[in-house]
Each structure stands twice: as C-alpha cells, then as structure tokens.
Amino acid sequence: MENCIYNGKEICTYDLKDKNHLYISELVEEWKLAAGEGKLICSECGQRVYLAAGPIMEPYFAHYDKLACPYGNLTESEELKKGKRLLYSLLKRSFPECEIHARYKMKNGMYSTCYVTSPAGNDIAIDYHLQHSSIGKFQERDQYYKSSRITPIYVMGINKSGKDNQISWYENLLQKSMGLCVFLDVWNEKMLLKRSFDYKVGSLRKVRFYQKFYSLEDILVDSNGALLCDFLEECEKIDLSITEEKNQYEQMLRARDDIIMNMNNIRPDVLSTALECLKRGEEHLVSKRYIDYIVANNLL
C-alpha cells in the first residue's frame, strides 16, 4: 500500500524517491523510525504498519498482520506500483503549488489513482489501469467525473495498446471522453499518445491514425488537464489536411456538375430560378429541358 497516516497526516511512498528513482534517505530513515515507534497507522483499519523500502521493488507500507484489512490485502504488480509513482511525480512536477493525493477516495466512494485539488476548483484525476474495465464501469466513472467537474486523465498500461493502426473499442471510449488515448510504458518511462480520426468523404468512410511516444520528463499537465507536448499541434495538422481533402472532393463534385450542366446546355442561374419556381408549384413557368434535368439529377 502507498499511503498511511503519520502524526495525523497522510504520507505516501511515492514521495520516497527523487526523479532519478533514488531513495531520499533521510525520509526513509524518519519513516522507519516512526514505524518502530508505532506511529505509522493504516488509514483504513487503524492498525500499525511498517515501511518496506528495498533496492529492487517499489517501496510500500505493510501491515504486521494484514488479514483484517482490505487495503492491506491489495496486491499490485511492480508495473502498476511504479506506474502510479511516475504519474504521481508527473502531477507533482506539473502542480508544485497544489496538493497531490495518491489513491484518492472521492465523494462517491470510488478511488482515483492520483488527484490534484486545485484552488481554482477544477480538480484533475488520473485514472491508471493495466486492464480494461467493463463499458458500464467506465461510463459510471466517466459520468461521475464529468458531473463533478473533475477532469479525468485515463492512462492504460502499454501492453493494452494495440499494434495495428486503429484503436480498439475501449480506446474509442477513452478518446470520446478526453480526445486522445494515453498509454504508460513504465519500464522506458515513456507515454504513448494515440488518436484516431474518423471522417467521411462523400459516402466513403475514412480513418486516419496518429501516435507518438514522449519521454515522461518532457510532458507536463496543464490546469485544464491537457498533456503539454506537441501532440495536439500534430493532430490539428491532420484535422486541417482532412478539411483540405474534403474541400478537394467538393471541388471535384462541383467541377463534375459544371461539365454535366454544360453538356446539357443548363445555365446555373436559370437552374436556380427553375428550382425556386418548382418549389412554389409554378411548374408551368419552367421549360421541359430544365424539368427533365432536375428530375434526372434528383435536385428537388
């Protein structure tokens, strides 16, 4: 477990290492001493806990007797523990003035992985999972965040990122909620950002796809919960190019219409007057050639 109570305040193992993943030894010593004196207390069951801070595994608090405590019985992989610590550090770097909580219990009883309490009122929650939730669970969570004006940043384990150039149904849920998909590569300390662009040109459905890896140290979170890097700029370029593609298609259609009109000796100005007449029910004012053309091209 990452949190416990010390002198009436919550402390978190993610604070024990610096950005180079080296232990801050004074803090380790202080908390180990405190544990020895019985001053580290589990926030859920009130039992005494101790600090395990070895060289290989991520540090954690543990119960002397964990049988009775649901928090103490949680088992987490090293990937999950390190990932949580990296995300916690990302928020600490991004919001040095704000309170950052790990395993934050929200008002509805759900936990978010990390949480920023913003003085301005727009709180940010990081929701990190190695596995998919069900659609129902995801939506319950997402709706809670939205209705409570909390900005969620959903982060998945890198192994859940598909290798092909499209996004999965679950990634589509994430993209609908926050405009992109975020994956954390704990071992290389990188984030993979992904976005899919679905659009139509005429009746043809098209998909484009963009993804890019970023070093975690090059990313910050802004006060709106956006990840500060060039990903959004790259996506805007793709949006522009899609608009361009659609415009070219429209131009092509108009050019084709012009050719057809020329072939049928149809003048655009007369055609639009003819259409207005037909809409008013004044068919007798329109020549047969124009009526034939309008019917053949389904213009009404």
Minimum Å distance from CB 44 to Zn ion? 5
| Out of 5, 28, 39, 44, the residue judged to bind Zn ion by CB under 5 A | 44
124, 33 Cβ separation under 8 angstroms? no
Minimum Å distance from CB 15 to Zn ion? 20
Q: Residue 13 or residue 161: which is nearer to Zn ion going by CB? A: 13
- 46: Cβ contacts below 8 Å, ≥ 6 apart: none
| Out of 5, 27, 62, 69, the residue judged to bind Zn ion by CB under 5 A | 69
Minimum Å distance from CB 96 to Zn ion? 31
Determine if 72 is a binding residue for Zn ion (CB under 5 A).
yes
Which part of the chain contacts Zn ion (CB under 5 A), choosing from 38-46, 123-131, 225-233, 244-252?
38-46
* Total number of residues that touch Zn ion (CB under 5 A): 6
Residues 39 and 4: their CA atoms lie apart, in Å, by: 10
Q: Residue 60 or residue 293: which is nearer to Zn ion going by CB? A: 60
Minimum Å distance from CB 178 to Zn ion? 33
Residues 192 and 132: their CA atoms lie apart, in Å, by: 17
83, 216 Cβ separation under 8 angstroms? no
Q: Residue 47 or residue 297: which is nearer to Zn ion going by CB? A: 47
Minimum Å distance from CB 125 to Zn ion? 23
Give strand ranges (E) for the chain.
Answer: 3-6, 9-12, 40-41, 49-52, 60-63, 99-105, 111-117, 124-129, 151-157, 181-185, 190-201, 204-215, 220-221, 227-228
Alpha helices in 148-212 (DSSP H): 169-178
Q: Residue 68 or residue 240: which is nearer to Zn ion going by CB? A: 68
Cβ-based neighbour number of residue 23 at 10 Å: 15
Which part of the chain contacts Zn ion (CB under 5 A), choosing from 61-69, 128-136, 170-178, 240-248?
61-69
Determine if 60 is a binding residue for Zn ion (CB under 5 A).
no
Minimum Å distance from CB 49 to Zn ion? 7
Determine if 45 is a binding residue for Zn ion (CB under 5 A).
yes
Determine if 191 is a binding residue for Zn ion (CB under 5 A).
no
Determine if 42 is a binding residue for Zn ion (CB under 5 A).
yes
Distance from the Cα of residue 238 to its chain's centroid = 19
Which part of the chain contacts Zn ion (CB under 5 A), choosing from 9-17, 71-79, 147-155, 292-300?
71-79
Q: Which two tokens stand for residue 283?
A: 């068919």
Residues 215 and 112: their CA atoms lie apart, in Å, by: 23
Distance from the Cα of residue 38 to its chain's centroid = 41
- 23: Cβ contacts below 8 Å, ≥ 6 apart: 16, 17, 53, 59
List for the chain the helix, strand, coil content (%; round to 5). 40, 25, 35
Site string for Zn ion, 234-273 (x = CB under 5 A): ----------------------------------------
Determine if 5 is a binding residue for Zn ion (CB under 5 A).
no
Which part of the chain contacts Zn ion (CB under 5 A), choosing from 21-29, 67-75, 218-226, 238-246?
67-75
Q: Residue 4 or residue 153: which is nearer to Zn ion going by CB? A: 4
Provide φ and ψ at 52, rounded to 5°.
Answer: -105, 120
Residues within the interface to Zn ion (CB under 5 A): 42, 44-45, 69, 71-72
